[in-house]
Amino acid sequence: MKKLVILGAGTAGTMMLNKLEPVLDRDEWQITIVDQFETHYYQPGFLFIPFGIYNKKDVIKPKRDFFPTSAEVIFSAIDRIEPKENKVSLQNGTVLSYDYLIIATGSKIHPEETEGMKEAGWHKNIFDFYTIEGAMALSKFLKYWEGGKLVLNIVEMPIKCPVAPLEFVFLADWWFTEQGIRDKVDIEFVTPLPGAFTKPKASNVFGDFLDKKNIQLVPDFNIARVDSEANKIISWDEKEVNYDLLVTIPTNMGDEAIARSGLGDELNFIPTDKETLQAIGHDNIFVIGDATNLPSSKAGSVAHFEADILLENFLCAIEGRALRAKFDGHANCYIESGFGKGILIDFNYDTEPLPGKFPLPGVGPFSLLEETKMNHYGKMLFRWMYWNLLIRGSELPIEAQMTMAGKRR
Amino acid sequence: MATREIAGKQIEFDDEGYMTDHTQWTKEVAVVLAAEDGISELTERHFAVIDFMRKEFEANGTGPSIRKLTKQSGVPTKELYQLFPGGPAKKAARIAGITKPQGCI
Ligand SMILES: Cc1cc2nc3c(=O)[nH]c(=O)nc-3n(C[C@H](O)[C@H](O)[C@H](O)COP(=O)(O)OP(=O)(O)OC[C@H]3O[C@@H](n4cnc5c(N)ncnc54)[C@H](O)[C@@H]3O)c2cc1C
């Protein structure tokens, strides 16, 4: 029997398992998947929890519901990978050997990387919403908050779902309006980037939205520390921003197991071939999702497009054929913009987000780089698609490769 | 694209003012580029950063992230911002004659 081991049963790992299981011959292949937790979180839903739109039960399901019966499932933390020996040691003492390895261990936040962040103010008036705990705590806080200065700060790039911070302030603007206290709240968006987003055209469009919604943009702010007694954040070049409520997107890093395995860069992301998705220097290891160091967005939609490429290349690799599928960096993100509307962007390594219609050129129903009600429905529909199609490995009506059809320069 | 004469050499720059061929770089060129960015003197500490960036670029085809820089060059983050005020990664890359850091996505 040949052995395929998948590390991480989040969005990408579960999806890969469900794509490979039906095509690999059961008499030839044993597939094993490993994760430390039994609960699957729909992370895009975390955004909505602080505003009471979703609660905890809307974003969790047992991981087991999504595993095919033939796969071996192990719930244990991964200690380390030994790529030279083709082995993985788990914290429960098990050692797995593999012929092929797919790493999908994702990324997570590290507030302790910023001086002063995890001190007295943590989960009192400093919150994250990238974890279920952070999102729930913030939801409780907001219920009783009477207003003041809300600062959203991105600590450093890259972060997963780079549009989520923008969505957060757009939704906050809407939510405080609904609560009747928008005039008592100042919202500031404090970012290390030179503008509202990473890509120039979209950055301008989002910058205009911030303006329209009366949200102040503070660009080029690289946070050095938090002073949680004086309630201010201070940059490396000694600029200061005061807050009453700080919502932080802390440093995002790959898992420590990757560092222990000597496979990661300075943020524990795995150097990965940006086209084939093989780990650089390891022909029998593929990497997918947030765990890679690819210059693409870290998003579920990206993992989905990568999965099609990985599947094709994996099948080539096991038959000794040259890898022919090439990932183009395709990302497709619905951006909730408040008041029942949304914005959609579609882009890849080489083409920045452009205006137009999607997925049918000229028809839509979704509009690129524009705020519409339909885009909001797309965002809300995404949860259903996620649980029912995406992580089950089903086809979605969007091609893995980005297309220029329907886009305007 | 633009070609300019600096320190007696014809040097090519991209639209954002980064050199397109890092092998044309010399210390004299660095001094001129630094002055354009408001850094009147390049000290040993500046060159510790610049040399590290060039080495990284030659090895990997792109400049290092700030995190890698501070972890491996021996120059702490705070000092880095003092040496290259207003954006060390981009400024140091321009003065080191390498392409603009790939930045983020
Ligand atoms: C607030 C928020 C909003 C978002 N919004 C969107 C959106 O609108 N659209 C979109 O496309 N994407 C969105 N994303 C991003 C999306 O959720 C992630 O990109 C996606 O989940 C990545 O999948 P992954 O499989 O790489 O990582 P994950 O889904 O995080 O899975 C990693 C898995 O590996 C396991 N693991 C890691 N280390 C170990 C170890 N040592 N031992 C055992 N198990 C381990 C973890 O337990 C986890 O189950 C959002 C994310 C956040 C946080």
User: Which residues of chain A does B104 touch, with a Cβ-Cβ cutoff of 8 Å?
Assistant: 157-158, 162, 193, 198
Q: Determine the pLDDT at residue A384.
A: 94
Decide if B101 is inside a domain: no
Which of A325, A287, A337, A315 has the alpha carbon at shortest distance from A401? A325
Counting the structural domains of chain B, the total is 1
User: Which residues of chain A does B77 touch, with a Cβ-Cβ cutoff of 8 Å?
Assistant: 224, 236
What are A254's two structure tokens?
A: 């790959």
CATH of the domain at B74: 1.10.10.370
Decide if B104 is inside a domain: no
Is B104 one of the annotated active-site residues of the chain?
Answer: yes
Q: Which residues of chain A have pLDDT under 50?
A: none
Decide if B73 is inside a domain: yes
Q: Is A254 in the pocket of ligand 1 (CB under 6 A)?
A: no
Query: Residues A133-147: pLDDT tens digits?
Result: 999 999 999 999 999
Residue of A16, A78, A105 best suited for mutating to test ligand 1, as the one with most atoms within 8 Å of CB? A105
Decide if B105 is inside a domain: no
What's the pTM?
A: 0.95
What's the average model confidence in pLDDT over B37-45? Answer: 95
Decide if B103 is inside a domain: no
Q: Is A43 in the pocket of ligand 1 (CB under 6 A)?
A: yes
Q: Determine the pLDDT at residue B103.
A: 59
Q: Determine the pLDDT at residue B105.
A: 43
Q: Which one of A156, A236, A266 has the shortest CB-CB distance to B78? A: A236
Query: Residues B27-40: pLDDT tens digits?
Result: 999 999 999 999 99
Q: Is A106 in the pocket of ligand 1 (CB under 6 A)?
A: yes
Count of A-B CB contacts under 8 Å: 39
- CB of A139 within 8 A of CB of A19? no
Q: By the CB < 8 Å criterion, does B38 face chain A?
A: no
- More confident site: B100 or A112: A112
3-class DSSP state of B66: helix
User: Which residues of chain A does B68 touch, with a Cβ-Cβ cutoff of 8 Å?
Assistant: 265-266
Taking CA atoms only, the protein residue closest to ligand 1 atom 48 is A10
**Structural domain boundaries enclosing B59:** 2-96
ipTM of the complex: 0.84
Contact B68 A295 (CB under 8 A): no
User: Which residues of chain A does B103 touch, with a Cβ-Cβ cutoff of 8 Å?
Assistant: 157, 198
Q: Determine the pLDDT at residue B84.
A: 94
Given B1, B15, B103, B104, which residue is catalytic?
Answer: B104
Lowest-pLDDT range, A20-24, A178-182, B51-55, B98-102? B98-102
Residue of A6, A11, A39, A152 best suited for mutating to test ligand 1, as the one with most atoms within 8 Å of CB? A11
Domains in chain A, ordered, with CATH? 2-109+253-318 (3.50.50.60), 110-251 (3.50.50.60), 332-390 (no CATH)
What are A131's two structure tokens?
A: 């974890």
**Percentage of residues in chain B having pLDDT higher than 70:** 96
